[in-house]
């Protein structure tokens, strides 16, 4: 899915990738993308940027990372929204999200991980074992975190294959947890200073904080337009914007998303939408959805509904909260980073009432008619927390469709039928 006129193969070979396997992967994505994305009608013109980004996902962007490293910078891989990209950026790093959204090399993966491991972990491991992900192969360091048990234990094996550093993320949000987490940021700074050969300065951290906040502000602006009826952009397109936020160049991404937001604001003013005003509006909440996992949004929107918001790490959990920019010393900025990140409401925390409040608030703000609670199979944190989501939604009078799935396409027929029945109920 890269520009056929440019030969990236020597770059991929240099990265130690399996070219044959990679060819197979690259051959599969364009069809998936065309079917989910290019088949949509009346997309915002600004989405052409994301079509281009996707067409160069393993080409031009990897070349940019290659050039960045050649100029003395680093590439840092991450698997979780708790890893602060402001610090990575301030130390000359480009942060790239590595969570993978497709099945790959499961035969190898299942030799080291139990079959009943969530698809996200298996996929991340498979991309590394199969040597088909140029992002992980470009990484000078991968940063893991102690979130769910599956990830925690898989990192022990992943660390045999790539340079890995694991941050200890507390599982509660008491003052002593914030203190522990703040200490973890100091330890992360020390590790990244060692890897980059640079020292963290106030100016660099202040600039990086502002740039990353600007990226999140642009996503907030784009998403705010989705509260309108008719919805001016599909859920699929909005999801793609957040997915790309994890690996695109930060200032360029901000500029392009602002441009799309402006276009959406004009659409809202003109009453122009991608779905009819009476299309059922769905809020999606649960486990993250990494590229190219567009399965649930695709089913909802092809069945005539529209996804209006995502309470996901590839959604509001990524862009809603900002880091305080007014500190006057490095320590103050790091305090703000610690507070912002610990305020994210992942189901790995206990108790986690903030997430339930977020779901209800978003459902209200985006005028959702119903909630689709999505969990990857074997993702215990989100599967179990679905019960609390269902109870709270029921009390608020909001119907919930519970979807437990993985990355295979085997269940799309059955899921499609359930989604259609759910939308029918919302229409009634």
- E strands along 184-252, which residues? none
Report the C-alpha gap between 113 and 378 in whole angstroms: 13
Nearer to ligand BJ8, 138 or 147 (CB): 147
Q: Which stretch binds ligand BJ8 (CB under 6 A): 3-11, 42-50, 174-182, 377-385?
A: 377-385
- Taking the complex as a whole, the smallest distance from the CB of residue 21 to ligand BJ8 amounts, in Å, to 23
Nearer to ligand BJ8, 80 or 200 (CB): 80
- Taking the complex as a whole, the smallest distance from the CB of residue 100 to ligand BJ8 amounts, in Å, to 11
Helices (H), 85-158: 85-90, 106-109, 119-129, 134-138, 149-158
Q: Which stretch binds ligand BJ8 (CB under 6 A): 80-88, 136-144, 171-179, 273-281?
A: 80-88
Report the C-alpha gap between 218 and 225 in whole angstroms: 11
Report the C-alpha gap between 255 and 215 in whole angstroms: 8
76 and 96 Cβ atoms separated by less than 8 Å: yes
Selected from 44, 92, 336, 381, the binder of ligand BJ8 by CB under 6 A is: 381
CB atoms within 10 A of CB 203: 9
Report the C-alpha gap between 170 and 174 in whole angstroms: 9
Question: Footprint of ligand BJ8 on residues 310-329 (CB under 6 A)?
Answer: 313
- Taking the complex as a whole, the smallest distance from the CB of residue 349 to ligand BJ8 amounts, in Å, to 9
- Cβ partners under 8 Å of residue 269, min gap 6: none
Q: Which stretch binds ligand BJ8 (CB under 6 A): 17-25, 135-143, 361-369, 374-382?
A: 374-382
- Taking the complex as a whole, the smallest distance from the CB of residue 11 to ligand BJ8 amounts, in Å, to 29
- Taking the complex as a whole, the smallest distance from the CB of residue 171 to ligand BJ8 amounts, in Å, to 11
Nearer to ligand BJ8, 57 or 148 (CB): 148
Q: Which stretch binds ligand BJ8 (CB under 6 A): 63-71, 145-153, 157-165, 193-201?
A: 145-153
Nearer to ligand BJ8, 77 or 381 (CB): 381
Selected from 26, 36, 80, 192, the binder of ligand BJ8 by CB under 6 A is: 80
Selected from 47, 54, 81, 289, the binder of ligand BJ8 by CB under 6 A is: 81
Give the contact letters, 102-131, x = binds to ligand BJ8 (CB under 6 A), - = no: ----------------x-xx----------
Selected from 2, 123, 146, 147, the binder of ligand BJ8 by CB under 6 A is: 147
- Of 263, 258, 265, 283, whose CA–CA distance to 228 is shortest? 265
Q: Is the dihedral of CA 16, 20, 26, 32 positive or negative?
A: negative
Nearer to ligand BJ8, 33 or 382 (CB): 382
- Burial label for 296, CB within 10 Å (0-12, 13-18, 19+), is buried
285 binds ligand BJ8 per the rule CB under 6 A:
no
Selected from 287, 309, 386, 405, the binder of ligand BJ8 by CB under 6 A is: 287
78 binds ligand BJ8 per the rule CB under 6 A:
no
Adjacency order of strands within the sheet including 306-311: 306-311, 281-286, 370-376, 400-405
Selected from 8, 37, 50, 82, the binder of ligand BJ8 by CB under 6 A is: 82
- Of 52, 55, 12, 49, whose CA–CA distance to 32 is shortest? 55
Report the C-alpha gap between 335 and 339 in whole angstroms: 6
**β 306-311/164-167 pair status:** unpaired
Give the contact letters, 153-172, x = binds to ligand BJ8 (CB under 6 A), - = no: --------------------
φ, ψ of residue 374 in degrees (nearest 5)? -110, 130
Selected from 348, 368, 393, 398, the binder of ligand BJ8 by CB under 6 A is: 348
CB atoms within 10 A of CB 278: 11
Number of residues that bind ligand BJ8 (CB under 6 A): 19
123 and 246 Cβ atoms separated by less than 8 Å: no
143 binds ligand BJ8 per the rule CB under 6 A:
no
- Of 328, 288, 327, 332, whose CA–CA distance to 310 is shortest? 288
Distance from chain centroid for Cα 262: 23
- Of 347, 406, 220, 367, whose CA–CA distance to 282 is shortest? 367
- Of 227, 214, 251, whose CA–CA distance to 364 is shortest? 227
Nearer to ligand BJ8, 59 or 288 (CB): 288
Residues at the contact surface with ligand BJ8, assessed by CB under 6 A: 80-82, 118, 120-121, 147-148, 150-151, 287-288, 313, 346, 348, 376, 379, 381-382
């Amino acid at each position: 899915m890269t520009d056929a006129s440019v030969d990236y193969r020597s770059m991929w070979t240099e990265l130690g990738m399996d070219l044959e396997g990679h060819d197979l992967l690259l051959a599969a994505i364009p069809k998936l993308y065309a079917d989910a994305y290019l088949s949509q009608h009346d997309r915002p013109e600004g989405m052409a940027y994301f079509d281009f980004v996707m067409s160069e996902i393993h080409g031009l962007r990897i070349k940019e990372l290659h050039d960045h490293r050649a100029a003395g910078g680093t590439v840092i891989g991450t698997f979780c929204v708790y890893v602060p990209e402001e610090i990575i950026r301030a130390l000359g790093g480009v942060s790239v999200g590595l969570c993978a959204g497709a099945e790959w090399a499961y035969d190898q993966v299942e030799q080291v991980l139990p079959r009943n491991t969530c698809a996200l972990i298996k996929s991340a491991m498979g991309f590394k074992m199969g040597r088909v992900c140029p992002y992980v192969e470009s990484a000078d360091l991968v940063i893991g975190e102690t979130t769910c048990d599956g990830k925690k234990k898989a990192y022990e094996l992943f660390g045999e294959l790539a340079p890995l550093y694991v941050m200890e993320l507390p599982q509660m949000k008491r003052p002593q947890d914030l203190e522990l987490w703040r200490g973890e940021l100091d330890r992360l700074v020390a590790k990244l200073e060692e890897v980059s050969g640079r020292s963290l300065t106030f100016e660099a951290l202040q600039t990086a904080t502002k740039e990353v906040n600007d990226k999140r502000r642009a996503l907030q602006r784009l998403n705010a337009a989705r509260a309108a009826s008719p919805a001016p952009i599909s859920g699929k397109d909005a999801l793609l914007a957040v997915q790309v936020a994890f690996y695109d160049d930060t200032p360029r991404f901000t500029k392009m998303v602002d441009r799309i937001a402006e276009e959406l604001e004009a659409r809202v003013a003109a009453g122009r939408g991608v779905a009819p005003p009476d299309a059922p509006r769905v809020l999606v909440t649960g486990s993250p959805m990494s590229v190219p996992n567009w399965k649930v949004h695709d089913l909802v929107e092809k069945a005539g509904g529209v996804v209006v918001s995502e309470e996901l790490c590839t959604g509001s959990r990524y862009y809603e909260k900002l880091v305080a920019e007014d500190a006057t010393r490095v320590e103050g900025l790091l305090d703000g980073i610690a507070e912002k990140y610990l305020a994210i409401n992942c189901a790995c925390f206990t108790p986690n009432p903030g997430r339930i409040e977020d779901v209800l608030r978003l459902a209200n703000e985006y005028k959702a008619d119903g909630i689709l609670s999505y969990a990857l199979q074997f993702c215990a944190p989100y599967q179990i927390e679905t019960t609390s989501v269902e109870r709270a939604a029921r009390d608020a009078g909001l119907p919930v469709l519970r979807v437990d799935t993985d990355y295979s396409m085997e269940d799309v027929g059955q899921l499609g039928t359930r989604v259609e029945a759910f939308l029918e109920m919302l229409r009634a």
